[in-house]
C-alpha cells in the first residue's frame, strides 16, 4: 500500500512537522484525550528542536539509538524530574512504534532506550477529618453569595474524587438528585471515557441547597458558575480551593483540587479495604497500578504505628 506517509521519506529535506501531524491524527483516531495529544505534540517538538540543532536528519531512517540515548542524557543534564524525562522519551517511543507500523522505520530504534527509575512513593497525602471540617465550615462562610456554591463544590469533590477539569465541565444534565439516591455522569473523562459515580447523602444535600438557590435562577447550564453567570474555569476552582484552605488555616500540606481527590481515595479504601477495582472505576483510572498507590502506607501512618510500638 502506497500512502502519503511514504512520500515523506522521499523529500530532500525531512519534514518533521508533516510526520508528527500524521502521527497525532492517528492518535486522535485511537480516541486518546486532548491532553495526551497535546503532551505528545509538545514533547516531540522539543525533541525535533534538539535534534535539528545537534544532528539534522535527511530522513527518518537516519534516526538511531544513539540519537535517542544522547537526547535522554541531555534531558538528565537539564535537571528535569524523572517523570518528565520518562514522558518525553515515552512520546518518542510511541512515535517510533507508529513509524515501524507504517514502514517509515525498518526497526524500532527506541526500544533499547530505558526510562529512569522513579523512587517508589508512599500513599499520597490527604486531609485529616478535622481539616476537612474546617475547610467545609470556611466554605459555608464564604461571602458575596458564594457559600452554598463553595460548600457544594467541596462536598462533590471530597465525596466523588472528581478531577478538577471534570468538575469545571459539569452540566446540569450530568447530575441526578433523588431523595435517597443520586449520581453524576462524567461524559468526557480521561481518555474520553464516560463513567457514572453515585452521590452519597452529603453530596446530594449540598448540591440541592446550591442548585435550588436564587443564584442559580436563569443561569447557564454549567453546574458551578461565577458571579457573571459563566462556568467556573479549572483555574478559578483551583484558586477557590487554595483561598479556602488559607482561610481555614490549613498549613500542614498544600491544599489543591488533587488533595481533595487524594482524600476521597484514601477515605474510600479505609472504609472498603479490598475494593481497589471499584475505586479505580470511580476515579476513572485506566490502570490498577495508578490506584494501587493508595494502598501504600503514608509516612504519617508509619510514624503513628512506630509511636504505638514505642508505647507498647
pLDDT, tens only, 232-244: 999 999 999 999 9
Q: Is 285 a catalytic site residue?
A: yes
CB-CB contact of 140 with 152 (8 Å): no
CB-CB contact of 168 with 234 (8 Å): yes
What is the arithmetic mean of pLDDT over 272-284?
A: 88
Write down the mean pLDDT value for the chain: 85
Q: Is 61 a catalytic site residue?
A: no
Catalytic residue of the set 72, 163, 204, 262 = 163
Task: Please report the pLDDT score of residue 305 as a whole number.
Answer: 57
**Strand 195-198 with 175-177, pairing:** unpaired
Task: Please report the pLDDT score of residue 6 as a whole number.
Answer: 43
Task: Quote the CA–CA distance of 18 and 106 in Å, as a whole number.
Answer: 19
- Does the pLDDT at position 267 exceed 90? yes
Q: Give the percent of the chain with pLDDT over 70.
A: 85
Task: Please report the pLDDT score of residue 152 as a whole number.
Answer: 97
CA angle 146, 149, 154 (to 5 degrees): 120
What is the arithmetic mean of pLDDT over 95-116?
A: 88
Per the confidence metrics, is the pTM higher than 0.85? no
Q: Is 143 a catalytic site residue?
A: no
Q: Is 173 a catalytic site residue?
A: no
Task: Please report the pLDDT score of residue 79 as a whole number.
Answer: 73
Q: In 18-146, at which residue ranges do the beta strands (DSSP E only) sit?
A: none
Contacts of 180 (CB under 8 A, 6+ apart): none
Amino acid at each position: 500500500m502506497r500512502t502519503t506517509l511514504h512520500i515523506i521519506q522521499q523529500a530532500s529535506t525531512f519534514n518533521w512537522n508533516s510526520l508528527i501531524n500524521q502521527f497525532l491524527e492517528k492518535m486522535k483516531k485511537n480516541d486518546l484525550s486532548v491532553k495526551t495529544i497535546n503532551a505528545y505534540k509538545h514533547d516531540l517538538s522539543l525533541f525535533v528542536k534538539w535534534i535539528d540543532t545537534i544532528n539534522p536528519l535527511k530522513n527518518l531512517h537516519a534516526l538511531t539509538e544513539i540519537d535517542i540515548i544522547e537526547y535522554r542524557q541531555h534531558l538528565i543534564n537539564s535537571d528535569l524530574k524523572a517523570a518528565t524525562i520518562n514522558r518525553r522519551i515515552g512520546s518518542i517511543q510511541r512515535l517510533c512504534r507508529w513509524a515501524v507500523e507504517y514502514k517509515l522505520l525498518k526497526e524500532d530504534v527506541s526500544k533499547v532506550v530505558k526510562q529512569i527509575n522513579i523512587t517508589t512513593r508512599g500513599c499520597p497525602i490527604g486531609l485529616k477529618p478535622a481539616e476537612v471540617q474546617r475547610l467545609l465550615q470556611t466554605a459555608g462562610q464564604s461571602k458575596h453569595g458564594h457559600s452554598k456554591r463553595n460548600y457544594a463544590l467541596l462536598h462533590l469533590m471530597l465525596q466523588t474524587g472528581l478531577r478538577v477539569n471534570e468538575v469545571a465541565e459539569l452540566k446540569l444534565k450530568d447530575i441526578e438528585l433523588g431523595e435517597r439516591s443520586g449520581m453524576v455522569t462524567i461524559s468526557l473523562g480521561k481518555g474520553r471515557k464516560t463513567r457514572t459515580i453515585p452521590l452519597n447523602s452529603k453530596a446530594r444535600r449540598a448540591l440541592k441547597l446550591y442548585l435550588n438557590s436564587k443564584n442559580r435562577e436563569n443561569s447557564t447550564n454549567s453546574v458551578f458558575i461565577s458571579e457573571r453567570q459563566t462556568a467556573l474555569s479549572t483555574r478559578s476552582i483551583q484558586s477557590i480551593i487554595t483561598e479556602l484552605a488559607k482561610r481555614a488555616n490549613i498549613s500542614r500540606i498544600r491544599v489543591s483540587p488533587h488533595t481533595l481527590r487524594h482524600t476521597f481515595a484514601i477515605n474510600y479504601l479505609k472504609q472498603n479495604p479490598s475494593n481497589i477495582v471499584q475505586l479505580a472505576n470511580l476515579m476513572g483510572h485506566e490502570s490498577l497500578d495508578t490506584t494501587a498507590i493508595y494502598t501504600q502506607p503514608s509516612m504519617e501512618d508509619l510514624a503513628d504505628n512506630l509511636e504505638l510500638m514505642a508505647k507498647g
